[in-house]
Amino acid sequence: MFDLVLLGDVLAGTARLGTPIAFAALGGVIAERSGLYNIGLEGQILAGALGAAAGSFATGSALIGLGCGVICGLISGLFLGYMSIRLRINQLVGGIALNLLLAGLTAFLSRQIFGAQAGGARVEGFTQIHIPLLTDIPVLGPSLFSQDPLFYLLIGIAVLAWYWLMKSHKGLDLRAVGENPKAADLAGVPVFRLQYLAISVSGALAALAGAHLVLSQVYVFAEGMSAGKGFIALAAIILGRWSPIGAVCAALFFGFCDAAQFKLQFSSPEVPYQLFLILPYIASLIALVILGAKASAPASVGLPYDREHR
């Protein structure tokens, strides 16, 4: 009954499907810890995906593609920051507007770049890295130690982000901004500079999610290929309690649900596949209800800060 090969497959799928959600969720954590909602993750994934595809298409180098994707994410993050910090637009509305803008813009630009051919153009991507010895561990080995480079990058960034946010002095300042920007301002923290930094990094991380989709999964850009991952990432932030490590774990949990439902689809062809498709979302809802209740968001997230406000 219990099939180790199947388990190994599901675990490998977990890593593959969870990575983009995890990148986006990490970005969301950084932004929300600075007091800004990033609802634009979904759109920024698309921006990153298009940038990565175009860069790789033009140069034939996956690494340059990755760089282009990250730059697209940074720019979209800065734009969202300008709307939220400088213009003090409602951050939910601003994020949704960005999603709509980027969905349209990436679709338009992709046709300009790749032509009208169906399925887009195939681009260079990353290949899996097999870590010697560890790959040979049964079940876990092939799934965790034969992944593409972006998976290892994710783990590195998650640990780094956790250390920076929770242990470094700048991280303390950033968290203070998210909790009580006025207190941080009065203590001498450059509130707006840190918020711009956080929202740009947030966009770049979301773009890495898009780059992963293109460069490590399908090697082609497709319109709307983010397929809701940016929104699941928002749930992963809450489930991970605004901790970088927690958010990555939550994202991998969603990836696991997704991988499991693929396997279930194949093993039970007589059941309508739509039922399995909703599994990850049901799981995320249940997880949020059980674990999310006690979580507390940064106290000032979503509230624009105005120094002279009376």
Partner 1 sequence: MEEFLRVTGVGKTFGAVRALNDVNLLASKGECIAILGENGAGKTTLASVLIGLYQPDSGQIVLDGVQISVTSPAAAIEHGIGMIHQHFSLVGAMTAEENILIGLPREKRGPAARARIRQLCDDFDFTVDFNVPVAKMAVGMKQRVEILKALFRDVSILILDEPTSVLAPTEVAPFLQGVRKLVATGCLVFFISHKLDEIREIADRVMIMRHGRVEGILPVASTPMAQMSALMMGQADADQPTEKPNTKEMRLDTTQAAKALVVSDVSLTTSSGAEILKEVDLTLRAGEILGIAGIDGNGQTELSEVITGLKRQTSGTILLGDKEISGSSIAARIADGIGFVPEDRHAEGLVLSLSVEENFAFRSIGEDKFMSGGMISRRAIGKIAEDAVKAYDIRPSNPKLNASALSGGNQQKIVMAREVARARNLLVVVQPTKGLDVGATQFVQDQIRAVAQSGVGVLYISTELEHVLEISDRVAVMAFGRITGVVNPQNTTLQNIGLLMTASPEEVV
Residues forming contacts to partner 1 in the complex (CB under 8 A) are: 169, 172-173, 175-176, 179-180, 182-190, 296, 299, 307-308, 310
Between 175 and 212, name the residue whose CB sits nearer to partner 1. 175
Give the shortest CB-98-to-partner 1 separation in angstroms: 27
Q: What is the DSSP string of 35-77?
A: T---TTHHHHHHHHHHHHHHHHHHHS-HHHHHHHHHHHHHHHH
Between 274 and 296, name the residue whose CB sits nearer to partner 1. 296
Helix (H, G, I), strand (E, B) or coil at 25: helix
Give the shortest CB-9-to-partner 1 separation in angstroms: 42
Give the shortest CB-90-to-partner 1 separation in angstroms: 15
Give the shortest CB-129-to-partner 1 separation in angstroms: 36
> How many Cα atoms within 13 Å fall on the side-chain side of residue 18?
27
Give the shortest CB-181-to-partner 1 separation in angstroms: 10
Between 194 and 225, name the residue whose CB sits nearer to partner 1. 194
Between 279 and 297, name the residue whose CB sits nearer to partner 1. 297
Between 190 and 272, name the residue whose CB sits nearer to partner 1. 190
What is the torsional sign of CA 85, 86, 90, 92?
negative
The answer to whether residues 206 and 78 touch, using CB atoms and an 8 Å cutoff, is no
Give the shortest CB-30-to-partner 1 separation in angstroms: 17
The answer to whether residues 291 and 239 touch, using CB atoms and an 8 Å cutoff, is yes
Q: What is the DSSP string of 159-220?
A: HHHHHHHHHSHHHHHHHHHHH-HHHHHHTT--HHHHHHHHHHHHHHHHHHHHHHIIIIIISS
Between 176 and 252, name the residue whose CB sits nearer to partner 1. 176
Give the shortest CB-167-to-partner 1 separation in angstroms: 11
Distance (Å, whole) CA 255 – CA 244: 16
Between 270 and 308, name the residue whose CB sits nearer to partner 1. 308
Distance (Å, whole) CA 196 – CA 182: 16
Sequence length of the chain is 310
Quick one: tokens of 179? 């909790």
The answer to whether residues 176 and 110 touch, using CB atoms and an 8 Å cutoff, is no
